[in-house]
Chain A
Amino acid sequence: MSEIGIKSYAAFIPRLRMDRASIAAAHAWSLPALKASGKGERSFCNWDEDSITMAVEATRACLAGGSKHRVGSLVFASTTPPFADLQNASIVVNACALPASTATLDAGGSLRAGLSALIRALRTREDGDAVIVAADDRRSKPGSIQEMQYGGGALALHLGSGGIIAKLVGSASSASSFTDHFRAEGEKYDYYWEERWVRDEGYLKIIPESVERLLKEAGVRADSIDHFCMPATISGAAAAVAKRLKIKPEAVVDNLASKCGDTGTPHALMMLAVALEKATPAQKILVVGFGGGCDALLLETTDAIRSYQSASSVSAALARGVTDKNYTKLLSFGGELDLDWGMRSETDSKTALTQLYRAQDQVVSFIGGRCGNCGAIQFPHLVACVNCGSMEPLTPYPLADEPAKVATFTADWLMYYPAPPLYVGLVQFDNGARVLMEMVDVDPAKFDVGSALRMVFRIKEKDGRRHFNRYFWKAAPIY
């Protein structure tokens, strides 16, 4: 059996970036100290993005190039899974149209869950390719330092053999009840202990222990580490850990604090992706994760890294950001502020679960049909062909990755929509299919009939009573 390693990676960072100075300005009357952290921007989810939608986008990009059929397992790691009991990983698998035979698992309980899943997958060498995808949409109390520090995002890794860009050198883990922060079941917000204690007794003791054990077992010197990935919101913590371990200061990878904030569970993997983006062959990358103990993973890049290009690198995902200064948007989208949307928002969005299951290939996987008689590609697929009326069976035709353009559109200011206006119109696929769709991430100055579109997986409706969100596909411009 040939060596297993990382074949591909892809990042997803929500397009929305909140200007931290705007957050600080809103709190200046009560919490003037926040001004000190009011620098840079943090990513945040649009109203229709969550850990599942971000994981889907990262996974799609990670598997771009047609290796979906080889996937044998997928782990979804998150501390903010939309569902507590309903497998989130299965929804990701269905949305990405991965094989139904994919073994799935939800991981969580700690911000290091994504890295833990990666280590486990690399060490157990399961049959078939594996996908590890981590995503978090972290809630923070208005006015808290976490509101400044947190961000949203997802990172997917494709593991397998052949053409790997990084291979396993070794790993070490530890378990500890050191509690730097916690969030009890059913609670909205994390609760943090004093930073100085977390740094001195937590990061600076627990991480070095695991790393030293790992380096010793692997026979690798600390000063030969080329990239050191340690997610930590405490300023200078990673540099202090590196110094204690005698890792070169220049090996410390930027924690993206000023660019998108701490994305949580995906963040260790996000930093690994930053390292992989810069790495040359035969370099050593050390990744650590912290929370209820520690995970440390040592990887070495291969020659294949030279020609590898991610379909969505971290720098590309960062570059897609759009700065927003409307602090109440962050509050509203995050569920912290209940705006008065009027009576039109009072509708019941109960989902018929029977209907959803009947049509899951269409709704979740966005699979249309191709007419057995005239060949017309169509969505939704009913029984008879939309073009010729034939009742010849339609063959499945996936639309999620098909190129499309705007045929008609408008901006609807009347209908209730959590991020007005609602852009809606006919999406014309190059393959002939046409679908009436919601359009998102629209920049009105650069949007018209003929604009190129790509499909994105989003929340279609939130059921405020039962909290079963409907997911579906929307069309987004390609900027």
Chain B
Amino acid sequence: MATGIKDKVVILGMGCSKFGERWNCGTEHLLAEAFQEALQDAGIEKGQIGAAWFGSALDRANVGNSAIPMSTALRLEGIPVTRVENMCATGTEALRGAVYAVAAGAVDIALAIGAEKLKDTGYGGLPVTTKGTLNDLIMPYSSAPAGFAQLAAGYRTRYGVSREDLKRAIGRVSWKSHQNGAKNPKAHIQKEVDLDTILNAPMIADPLGLFDCCGVSDGCACAIVTTPDIARGLGKKDLVTIKALQLSLSSGRDVGTAGWDGSYVRNTRIAAKKAYEEAGIKNPRKELSMMEVHDCFSITELVTMEDLGVSADGGAVKDVMDGFFDADGGVPCQIDGGLKCFGHPIGASGLRMAYENYLQLLGRADRRQLKNPTYGLSHNLGGVPYSGVAAISILGLLAH
């Protein structure tokens, strides 16, 4: 009988590079930057790492196939290193691999690291990729914002929200994240943006304007994980532990049958339910201290509030407008600035979110520090709302 991951694995150390347009850094520099911080934080030598997982989503725009570019960049010699790719859930997948290896007793200490170099393409937005030989023949080549923008049509149709009210609510989602990101020295975009600018920005994919879309950045984040016993043996006192790690993927139902109305993301709902069960969370709106969710686009974040059960169905617009997710709200969301301000170097994002939850739980979040957080949730959404992957991790403090 499966017992879940709760409290079996702790984080020994984490690192996160400065995110942004790192014109003078290649992926190897970003990897080294985050890794060095994590090693120092963990207080171990590189040679103590028994296995590693490397998340990178776009091989051609980044460092190519396999984990070899990462093992070479960090000079990891003779240990198992695996590259994982699962669209925007890639970073969380790397963490999952490392955490499961430790929980299985296969290794004592494992590394999860995710990096993406998006700014070597010569243009804004994500690189254009093919979708496979059959899909290239039958699937429209739409952009990422076009995939998520469809949530807006579905949401306003289901709940009878006007175009204007929804536009304003998603605009406020971005406004709030910019407020937070302005306080984060590692964020790509560290500035506040007023709501009028957000609402009047050029259209990218109706109704998403420029400020409804996350940035495009280079970045890397990593975690070194081990068992609670080993961590204590290394002298660690306050331990951040994995409370839940869940993943849900589409079977094609929503894109291929009539059931889905476009107003929610099924994968998030399934992964959230399992994650809350695994972590022992009964009322997320009350128990979660903070959330780092996949705000690739503002409409995604708004819908995710309902999918995670923090807002009631149809209640996210009101919660957003009431400031429930602001830094001083009921459950602060994107306290580090989110993808909105960090950008979305795909392989790194899941680990970057965990990094903020980790800092907050240990009281190391500086000007962004929340009061006595207990649970931090992170959430990734890969693909598109009707065909994709959702990943959720919940971190918390290990009881002494």
Contacts and interface: CB of A to CB of B under 8 A. Distances in A.
A344 to B, nearest CB: 5
Nearest to A406: B153
Interface stretch (B95-103, B256-264, B280-288, B331-339): B256-264
A409 B145 CA distance: 12
Query: What is the size category of the interface that chain B forms with chain A?
Result: 35 or more
Contacts of A414: 125, 143, 145-146, 204-205
Contact of A408 (B136, B154, B257): B154
B253 interface: yes
Contact of A355 (B133, B149, B255): B133
Contacts of A410: 142, 145-146, 149-150, 152-153, 205-206, 208
Contact of B257 (A359, A376, A416, A421): A376
Nearest to A439: B140
Nearest to A345: B128
Given A386-B251, A408-B150, A410-B152, A436 B123 contact: no
B143 A352 contact: no
A386 B256 CA distance: 7
Nearest to A364: B137
Contacts of B202: 413
Contacts of B252: 382, 386
A386 to B, nearest CB: 4
A437 interface: yes
A416 B126 CA distance: 12
A436 B140 contact: yes
A25 interface: no
B200 to A, nearest CB: 15
A415 B142 contact: yes
Given A408-B153, A426-B262, A434 B146 contact: no
A378 B256 contact: yes
Interface in A353-372: 355-356, 359, 362-363
A298 B128 CA distance: 56
B256 A359 contact: no
Given A344-B123, A380-B138, A387 B257 contact: yes
A432 interface: yes
A329 B143 CA distance: 23
Given A347-B128, A356-B137, A363-B138, A436 B206 contact: no
A392 B297 CA distance: 40
Given A411-B206, A412-B145, A344 B128 contact: yes
A55 interface: no
Given A355-B134, A378-B257, A425-B150, A413 B204 contact: yes
Interface string A77-100: 000000000000000000000000
B1 interface: no
Contacts of B145: 410, 412, 414
A379 B202 CA distance: 35
A473 to B, nearest CB: 8
A422 B146 contact: yes
B121 A343 contact: yes
A435 B133 CA distance: 17
A470 interface: yes
B258 A428 contact: yes
Contacts of B19: none
A460 interface: yes
B142 A359 contact: no
A352 B133 CA distance: 6
Interface string A389-421: 100000000000000000111111111100001
A426 B255 CA distance: 7
Interface in B202-217: 202-206, 208
Nearest to A410: B149
Contact of A347 (B130, B134, B143, B150): B130
B307 to A, nearest CB: 16
B139 interface: yes
A414 to B, nearest CB: 4
A34 interface: no
B386 interface: yes
| Residue from the set A407, A410, A412, A422 with the largest chain B CB neighbour count within 10 Å | A410
Contact of A422 (B140, B203, B256): B140
A382 B138 CA distance: 13
A66 B279 CA distance: 59
A408 B146 CA distance: 11
Interface in B190-206: 202-206
A342 interface: yes
A203 interface: no
B137 A363 contact: yes
A367 to B, nearest CB: 12
A354 to B, nearest CB: 8
Contacts of B40: none
A400 B140 CA distance: 17
A168 B202 CA distance: 61
Interface string A434-448: 111110000000001
A389 B253 CA distance: 10
B159 interface: no
A433 interface: yes
A440 to B, nearest CB: 11
A432 B133 contact: no
B157 interface: yes
Contacts of A378: 256-257
Interface string A334-351: 000000001110010101
B253 A432 contact: no
B122 interface: yes
A449 B256 contact: no
Given A409-B150, A410-B205, A386 B257 contact: yes
B60 to A, nearest CB: 11
B132 to A, nearest CB: 9
Nearest to A382: B252
Given A387-B253, A413-B203, A414-B125, A449 B153 contact: yes
Contacts of B146: 410, 412, 414-415, 422, 424
Given A355-B133, A363-B137, A426-B386, A343 B123 contact: yes
Interface in A423-479: 424-426, 428, 432-438, 448-450, 460-461, 470, 472
Contacts of A362: 138
Contacts of A450: 157
B137 A470 contact: yes
A343 B119 CA distance: 13
Contacts of A413: 202-206
Interface in B223-264: 251-253, 255-258, 261-262
A378 B256 CA distance: 6
A460 B386 CA distance: 22
Interface string B111-125: 000000000011101
A436 B255 contact: yes
A389 B208 CA distance: 35
A214 B356 CA distance: 88
A244 to B, nearest CB: 54
Interface in B139-188: 139-143, 145-146, 149-154, 157
14 contacts: A344-B125, A378-B256, A380-B134, A386-B257, A407-B262, A408-B150, A408-B153, A410-B205, A414-B204, A415-B142, A424-B142, A432-B257, A435-B256, A436-B387
Interface of A: 342-344, 347, 349, 351-352, 355-356, 359, 362-363, 376, 378-380, 382, 386-387, 389, 407-416, 421-422, 424-426, 428, 432-438, 448-450, 460-461, 470, 472
Interface of B: 121-123, 125, 128, 130, 133-134, 136-143, 145-146, 149-154, 157, 202-206, 208, 251-253, 255-258, 261-262, 386-387
The 10 A-B pairs with the shortest beta carbon distances in the complex, nearest first, are: A412-B146, A410-B149, A408-B150, A355-B133, A386-B256, A408-B262, A415-B143, A414-B143, A424-B142, A352-B133
